[in-house]
A and B are shown apart, each in its own frame.
Chain A
Amino acid sequence: EAAVTQSPRSKVAVTGGKVTLSCHQTNNHDYMYWYRQDTGHGLRLIHYSYVADSTEKGDIPDGYKASRPSQENFSLILELASLSQTAVYFCASSDGTGGAGDQDTQYFGPGTRLLVL
């Protein structure tokens, strides 16, 4: 069974503070993703990575940095947290991006609820 874990599960941060969200996968997957979920917007891609030590910008990267120090770990960093970054953040992993097998399936973590005050 594929497994993606996230920490913390919830966090309250102050405006202007630094926040780090962590993600760990035991799937041996190459691809990892960070999404944010806001009511009425579904999931929006912030950053992704397809190999360790490399990250790519998604659709809404402003205000976020990402770090992939190993295949298993992928972090999302908010250097200066803002009120608008209050959301639920999901990490996901996948084996690849193509093919008719399981490569395309994204496995999601349980999410981190971030409240910025």
Chain B
Amino acid sequence: AQSVTQPDARVTVSEGASLQLRCKYSSSVTPYLFWYVQYPRQGLQLLLKYYSGDPVVQGVNGFEAEFSKSNSSFHLRKASVHWSDSAVYFCAVRGGGYKVVFGSGTRLLVSP
């Protein structure tokens, strides 16, 4: 079985500052990992995904994430945030089957 924990329900950062959103996963098999973003009153959109290989994966809009097997983590990072990055971010994991398990989400607020 898979599970995902996003320990921070809300994160506030200043525009231009760097960002890290935390994600811890549990999986009995090698996981497939995802970050999705949800803008207000919209569905989720894929930011990036990790299957294997280089543990740092690049996504859209300057986001990247780093997979760590030893820490069971898949943290999302961005070097410099913009006000338009304000949204809810979901980490998700898929094990060997069909099901993708989503975390509870982290609401990001970028302050001017």
Contacts and interface: CB of A to CB of B under 8 A. Distances in A.
Which of under 10, 10 to 19, 20 to 34, or 35 or more describes the interface residues of A? Answer: 20 to 34
Interface string B72-103: 00000000000000000010001001111011
B112 interface: no
B104 A111 contact: no
Contact of B52 (A42, A50, A100, A109): A100
A61 interface: no
Contacts of B51: 100
Given A100-B51, A110-B43, 10 more contacts: A42-B104, A43-B44, A58-B99, A90-B43, A92-B44, A104-B49, A104-B100, A108-B43, A109-B43, A110-B41
Interface of A: 4, 31, 35, 40-45, 48, 50, 58-59, 90, 92, 97, 100, 104-106, 108-111
Interface of B: 4, 6, 9, 32, 34, 41-46, 49, 51-52, 90, 94, 97-100, 102-105
Contacts of B97: 97
Contacts of A59: 99
Contact of A90 (B34, B44, B52): B44
Contacts of A43: 44, 90, 102
A42 B32 contact: no
22 contacts: A35-B102, A40-B9, A40-B104, A42-B6, A42-B90, A43-B44, A43-B90, A43-B102, A44-B102, A45-B100, A59-B99, A97-B98, A100-B52, A104-B32, A104-B49, A104-B94, A105-B46, A105-B49, A106-B44, A106-B46, A110-B43, A111-B42
